[in-house]
Amino acid sequence: MRIVLIGQAAFGQRMLEELLKRGEKVVGVYVPPDEGVRVDPLKELAQKESIPVFQSKRMRDPEVYEEYAKLQPDLNIMAFVTDIVPESILKYPRLGTIQYHPSLLPKHRGGSAINWPIINGETKTGLTIFWPDKGIDTGPILLQKEVDISPDDTVGSLYFNKLFPLGVDALMEALDLVEKGIGPRIPQDESQATYEGLCSEGDVIIDWSQPASKVYNLIRGANPQPGATTYFRSKKLKIFDSELRPGLINKPVGEIIEITEQGLLVAARGGTILVKRVQPEISPKIMSLDYMKSVDLKVGDRLGKIA
């Protein structure tokens, strides 16, 4: 079978490894343009294996289709795709196109499908392998896998520990079904559909007056990207690694009530958040205690005020 792999990053690289292990003929790899000196690991592996690599800013550009059609693929596999792939490419192969999406479609369509379930406090999510069409994550479902969202999962842990490895296995399982001609096409239930836009910095500004559990969900649902934002002395401060400590606290919300070896305890409604790692403006991520020393932060100071 002649396969075109469209993807990027470690997930795309892993998919290419698995395809090559099982002896599939990968006739081309599409990855986004390089960013600076950083080379995409999928591109690196493809070049090492002498597989043609194609890079363009927009898969919709006419010249992309022209070069793609010359590859004469039997199947497209989309593994971590952030660009819009046109129908002319999706429908070109005789077996069509299958795509990985990190949610249980039709829930959480969109490009931040891992962030929003955590932010919303959900306890389950999963992944879907589906047949993409011209809509955004709207094509018929081939197969799905469910996973638990642990109480302390972040976007990073949920993806790398669960949705990444399970997703690779699911794509290979889907490939088996497609090769045998028994891959189902189950229509999505539009009455259950949800769509959220990309989780941006403006979506994850911390309101310390919210319940502590909700603040904690926001922080972990933005870790490692885009980072939940608060302010100290009118300067932006992003919070990453943290811990929820429920309990009644008779302190103003946002106040630093204790400094420990693990980090800073910040009051919220119905509990505290132990802030372990942060990122000040124009700075790399650092441990909270290092930040505290750099700005002379003390017990009684408050986060969240812009003044």
- Residues 97, 230 share a domain: no
Same domain, 134 and 12: yes
Q: pLDDT 10s digit of each residue in the chain, 307 long? A: 999 999 999 999 999 999 999 999 999 999 999 988 789 999 999 999 999 999 999 999 999 999 999 999 999 999 999 999 999 999 999 999 999 999 999 999 999 999 999 999 999 999 999 999 999 999 999 999 999 999 999 999 999 999 999 999 999 999 999 999 999 999 999 999 999 999 999 999 999 999 999 999 999 999 999 999 999 999 999 999 999 999 988 999 999 999 999 999 999 999 999 999 999 998 999 999 999 999 999 999 999 965 4
Q: Assess whether 139 and 215 both reside in one domain.
A: no
- The answer to whether residues 266 and 212 belong to one domain is yes
Query: In sequence order, what are the residues at sequence separation of 6 or more whose Cβ sits closer than 8 angstroms to the Cβ of residue 223?
Result: 154, 155, 156, 240, 241, 242
In a domain, 307, yes or no: no
Q: Is 149:117 a contact under the CB 8 Å cutoff?
A: yes
Sign of the C-alpha dihedral computed for residues 147, 149, 152 and 158 taken in this order: positive
Is residue 96 assigned to a domain?
Answer: yes
Asked if residue 59 belongs to a domain, the reply is yes
Are residue 121 and residue 213 in the same domain, yes or no? no
- What is the CATH number for 66? 3.40.50.170
Q: What pTM was estimated for this model as a whole?
A: 0.95
Cβ neighbours, 10 Å, residue 280: 17
Are 20 and 148 contained in the same domain? yes
303 in any annotated domain: no
| Structural domain harbouring 283 | 201-295
CB 88 within 8 A of CB 65: yes
How many residues would you count in the chain? Answer: 307
Q: Where is the domain boundary, 192, 226, 245? A: 192
Domain co-membership, 16 together with 163:
yes
Number of H helices, E strands in the chain: 9, 15
Domain co-membership, 152 together with 250: no
Domains contained in the chain, number: 2
